[in-house]
Chain A
Amino acid sequence: MNNRLKVLRAERNWSQADLADQLGVSRQTVNALETGRYDPSLPLAFRIAKVFGQPIESIFTED
């Protein structure tokens, strides 16, 4: 699965640690999400969508 996490984070000038704090996960988890090494659960995907104020399908896309 592809995602736009890094771009969305960059647009807001957030560090990985900033985003991790808002999502309640570790910085390593944010890094793994951004590099495509980990696909989030549905609850985490919803939290990500809420943090960025965008629908899930605009953040995550199929390969």
Chain B
Amino acid sequence: MNASIETPRPSLLRKAAMVVVLAGLGGAVGYGAATLTDGVLTTWEDELAVFMSVIMIAVGAITAFMVATRPATVPRGCGVLQAVVMLLAGALFLLPVFGTAWAQPDVVYGGILALLAAQSVANLMLWRQADEMLRRVMLETSALAFWALQLALFVYAAGERLGLVATITGWGLMGILMGVYFIASIVAAARRGLS
């Protein structure tokens, strides 16, 4: 077999170096976010939203870096769209928390709706551009997240109806939903060897 047809596999040392670099980056981003928001975030809902936002923006930035350094011709534009979707999702989770520091709530809300529309268009374009395996991963992510969330929602809702657990705000539920969806996407992608 010709060596050139083999897909180069990263060595153990390179993988370890990548883990160290990513862990360092994650630590730095986490420390920076915690420092910047120290004393600003007063509820666990906002803390979760900012945490999810930092993760999505970091993933979006890494995806953009990968697209810039290792562009793929097929499927065309998927990498860019994935980065755009993640970055916009990150921004969408930050605006309700910090937006009112710069503008009135109704203006912030209008901006959120505009960003949401743009993100939905990007998501639709990503679906249309994706090849069949990426679509399968998206479908499996949705199915896994829906199954886990409807199960969790029922358990919570029944407990809340019985007065056994405290009420969670819609904003808190949204943060939990995004966290579960993120984990589901990692599981679905890993099953297909995507990393």
Listed in ascending order, the chain A residues whose CB lies under 8 Å from chain B are 9-10, 13-17, 20-21, 24-29, 31-32, 35, 37-38, 40-41, 44
Contacts and interface: CB of A to CB of B under 8 A. Distances in A.
Given A29-B131, A37-B191, A13 B74 contact: no
Nearest to A14: B5
A9 B5 CA distance: 8
B75 A25 contact: yes
Given A26-B131, A26-B133, A40-B132, A21 B74 contact: yes
Contacts of A20: 74
Contacts of B132: 25, 29, 40-41, 44
Nearest to B189: A28
Contacts of A44: 132
Interface string B85-107: 00000000000000000000000
Nearest to A21: B74
Interface string B1-30: 110110100000000000000000000000
Contacts of B7: 15-16, 27, 31
B83 interface: no
Interface in B162-195: 191-194
A55 B78 CA distance: 31
Contact of B4 (A15, A25, A31, A32): A15
A16 B4 CA distance: 10
Given A32-B133, A38-B136, 9 more contacts: A10-B5, A13-B5, A14-B5, A16-B5, A24-B131, A25-B74, A25-B75, A28-B193, A37-B192
B73 interface: yes
A16 B74 CA distance: 12
19 contacts: A9-B5, A10-B2, A14-B5, A15-B5, A15-B7, A16-B5, A21-B74, A24-B75, A24-B131, A25-B133, A26-B72, A26-B74, A26-B78, A26-B134, A27-B74, A31-B7, A37-B191, A37-B193, A40-B132
Contacts of A9: 5
A55 to B, nearest CB: 21
B192 A32 contact: yes
